[in-house]
Amino acid sequence: MPALPALTDLDPAPRILLGPGPSMIPPRVLRALATPATGHLDPDFLAILDDVRRLLQFVFQTQNELTLAVPGTGTAGMEAVLSNLVEPGDRVLACSAGYFGERLAAMAERHGAEVDRLQRDWGQVFEAEAIRQALQRKTYRLMTLVHAETSTGAWQPEIPAIAEAAHRSGAMLVLDVVTSLGGLPVEIDAWDVDAAYGASQKCLSAPSGLAPVTLGARARQAIAARRTPPSVFYLDLEGLQRYWVEPHVYHHTSPIQNFYGLREALRLVHEEGLEARFDRHQRLAHRLWRGLESLGLQMLMPEAIRLPTLTTPRLPSGIDDAEVRGRLRQEFNLEIAGGFGALAGKVWRIGLMGHSCRAENVALLLAALQATLQPSAS
């Protein structure tokens, strides 16, 4: 066997993460990650899980008893919800106006659903009335919708009216809140959303690897009425619920340290308070937008439906996307992302999420963009 090359200490560059996730992890969360492990059935750990459950109910604004986090990133949350709620042959209405809306449609198909897409161009949002009409054409088991579409920067309004339309037609509403949870209002109970999922590494600023999920009564009844057990054993939500609450039956080994990190990140959200946290995201996003505009950049999304957590300025003409982002990374240690899919080469994606959403980061990014886009003579 060839000898391994000498390995250096782990030392990635200290990036300032202003992309679509992951966001930066606060020092308190990093310290929590270094806490020694207990067993996954240790009473101390079960109490920690209970804290996480209650803190997640707080950020989701729900009393749903089935509120937990599954191992994996946001996509695991998506897979958990769909694999529990969809049975082969079920009809699903998927609202698709960006990459993640389309991923929900494709994933539902893989779970055997007959999917109808309500399609809009990338960057558009859905009117409740259009959804109401689409729901009348067939009997759907559920509809899927993205609250904060990270591929375009669109903020979907009218969730309560859409939930009402879904319920009136007999369908459940599955809502992707990956880029909104912890960054802008998500009110699962007030809006009457049946199932929602997020991700630890976006506006919650915990390490990636856990996906918060919450299910309401309709969703749990639908699971209880399944003809077959959920197709993914690992993400069986009722099985996991029996581990999270009494009688605490083993389902799979929890990623212990990840939960320490998530608990501390959620504790920070609770200490800051939801209103203050949403206000911080709004305020600094406005500062970013004004700054980008003064550099001559135009935003893809109109302000009324523009996410504060993910901004998509159009690329100025004649600008080399990869070169600018490369320089931001090499000269300023800044990460922003490019567009993809229908928006490849057309926009940048700038995230202001959780711990990354700070005044000094906005100021640095604007100064770095100015230096990169408008090099002075000196």
Ligand X SMILES: *Cc1c(COP(=O)(O)O)cnc(C)c1O
- Of 311, 316, 306, the closest CA to residue 350 belongs to 311
**Residues near 279 by beta carbon (within 8 Å), at least 6 away in sequence:** none
Closest separation between CB of residue 75 and ligand X, Å? 3
176 binds ligand X (CB under 6 A): yes
The two structure tokens encoding residue 342: 């229908």
User: How many chain residues are in contact with ligand X, going by CB under 6 A?
Assistant: 12
Closest separation between CB of residue 154 and ligand X, Å? 10
- Give the amino acid at 33: L
**Contacts with ligand X in 327-346 (CB under 6 A)?**
none
Query: What is residue 41's DSSP assignment?
Result: T
Per-position DSSP letters for 192-227, written without gaps between them: T-SEEE--TTSTT-PPSSEEEEEE-HHHHHHHHT-S
Q: Which of 23, 83, 144, 150 binds ligand X (CB under 6 A)?
A: 150
Per-position DSSP letters for 46-57, written without gaps between them: HHHHHHHHHHHH
194 binds ligand X (CB under 6 A): no
Beta strands in 268-319 (DSSP E): 310-311
75 binds ligand X (CB under 6 A): yes
354 binds ligand X (CB under 6 A): no
- The answer to whether 168 and 120 have CB atoms below 8 angstroms apart is no
Of 67-75, 137-145, 181-189, 261-269, the window that binds ligand X (rule: CB under 6 A) is: 67-75
Q: Which of 146, 210, 237, 357 binds ligand X (CB under 6 A)?
A: 146
Q: Which of 62, 96, 179, 254 binds ligand X (CB under 6 A)?
A: 179
Integer distance in angstroms from the first to the last C-alpha of the chain? 54
Closest separation between CB of residue 320 and ligand X, Å? 26
184 binds ligand X (CB under 6 A): no
Closest separation between CB of residue 216 and ligand X, Å? 20
Report the interface residues with ligand X, using CB under 6 A: 21, 73-75, 100, 146, 148, 150, 176, 178-179, 199
